[in-house]
Structure 1
């Protein structure tokens, strides 16, 4: 069995979700051969050089799960794009490129965070290009920790305000971008998170049937996962 999750947005202000994730790493995740996190594990990450007690607890739980035999992989999201090699080494997570083609359940699938598909949100796409630029990231990481904390808080506030004023369809993926991306990678199954709209979408790619799985976000009391086993791919929610 393989498991995929996304969009936990872990933060000290949501201790129930953090506890649920740690319990998950000690339970269901250890029954799986692999656990893949498709971005936004953290609500914010200001650099591998800053870790408070909260971050240390999460990293320790990940490491323990990896040492118990579960292969862990992490893909950057739009909130934790500054996670780097030090985090990967300490947590036992392999870093995945966005996008990544993998084999799940005997078929080629495309793994993504999903934000790159929201092409109608032009303001966000401009920010994404900046945020993924290595030179910009290096500049941010060279700032004192206090300034990075303040910047992360400011960006979170701006994101919340901007999303309040955006139309719902703008914050969802662009259908044409989905088709073009699947064609470019020659896949008929796509898996992503980001939109917080869990669903299985049936579509057609190059005249062939295809599927897009959207993994839901974790909230107090509820988590989401995509389970891959002998029965195929199953999107499901569960209590935390």
Structure 2
């Protein structure tokens, strides 16, 4: 049995947040390297990530190096693509050391059978996005985007992003997204009583709900304002929602 907890984080949106947020996240990764048995990044680590064949976006090099440090510390990592960074590939997998997935998928985390999904396009919400998702993940679209100069691709992504609006206003649509995602998660748990935990992100609203004794729905929140993360204790204890200290003060294990 693992003696260290599993850590879960999502929706950091690096590249669209202040430099202080990135510094805080790098401190968080130092903590993970010392304290975790496993790290799950459940989508939107980056506000934009696209793997060109020979180019890596310069703005992310310090976080990428920290992630490599986590891998070299012996902490396995998994990344589930979000709506901002679904195009991960060989660099993150082979050079950084992160296992790549597209959700929804099942994993065993903290001794629990767990369903993991970033949350984009699930349930009855995000109707326009579900149509867009099929287009932007189509191999033809990806190939066409790859032909653009990376600076132009980055500029297009910034124009399309709504992250800054969410950070400034709290995004009034967040509660609607959260409700759709939670409803989807509860439906999955009703249909399959063996699922003990559902983990999502995307809504930018952190939540821990004990659906039934020992069965939980968890949304890991975001790092736009509240620096949320989730700890799954070893031995199957209840999921714990925590906030990383933005001022650099020490966090609990």
**Bin of the TM-score, shorter chain as denominator length:** 0.7 to 0.9
Correspondent of 1:87 among 81, 84, 92: 92
For residues 3-48 of structure 1, what are the alpha-carbon distances to aligned partners after superposition, in whole Å with 9 as ceiling and x for unaligned? 1111111116511111111111122343111111001001111334
5+ long unaligned stretches in structure 2: 247-253
Taking the aligned partners of 2:175 and 2:162, their CA distance within structure 1 comes to 21
Taking the aligned partners of 2:13 and 2:58, their CA distance within structure 1 comes to 16
Which residue does 1:137 correspond to in 2?
Answer: 142
5+ long unaligned stretches in structure 1: none
Greater mean alpha carbon deviation, residues 141-150 or residues 2-11? 141-150
Correspondent of 1:30 among 17, 28, 34: 34
Which residue does 1:150 correspond to in 2?
Answer: 155
Is 2:182 the counterpart of 1:178? no
Is 2:195 the counterpart of 1:191? no
- Structure 2 residue matching 1:73: 3-state secondary structure: strand
- Structure 1 residue matching 2:121: 3-state secondary structure: helix
Closer, same or farther in 2 for the Cα pair 1:81/1:159, shift >3 Å?
farther
1:1-240, aligned counterparts within 5 Å?
Answer: 1-11=5-15, 14-48=18-52, 49-117=54-122, 119-156=124-161, 167=173, 169-174=175-180, 176-182=183-189, 183=191, 186-203=194-211, 210-219=215-224, 222-229=226-233, 230=235, 231-240=237-246
For residues 110-169 of structure 1, what are the alpha-carbon distances to aligned partners after superposition, in whole Å with 9 as ceiling and x for unaligned? 1111113253221122112222222222221222223312321221159959x9997555
For residues 194-221 of structure 1, what are the alpha-carbon distances to aligned partners after superposition, in whole Å with 9 as ceiling and x for unaligned? 10110112447xxx9842101010136x
Closer, same or farther in 2 for the Cα pair 1:185/1:54, shift >3 Å?
farther
- Structure 1 residue matching 2:39: 3-state secondary structure: strand
Is this contact kept in 2: 1:112–1:191, CA < 8 A? yes
Is this contact kept in 1: 2:119–2:202, CA < 8 A? yes
Is this contact kept in 1: 2:88–2:100, CA < 8 A? no
Is this contact kept in 2: 1:119–1:125, CA < 8 A? no
- Structure 2 residue matching 1:172: 3-state secondary structure: helix
Taking the aligned partners of 1:195 and 1:228, their CA distance within structure 2 comes to 20
- Structure 1 residue matching 2:132: 3-state secondary structure: helix
Point out the structure with the larger strand share: 1
Closer, same or farther in 2 for the Cα pair 1:168/1:68, shift >3 Å?
closer
Taking the aligned partners of 1:24 and 1:84, their CA distance within structure 2 comes to 24
Is this contact kept in 2: 1:6–1:215, CA < 8 A? yes
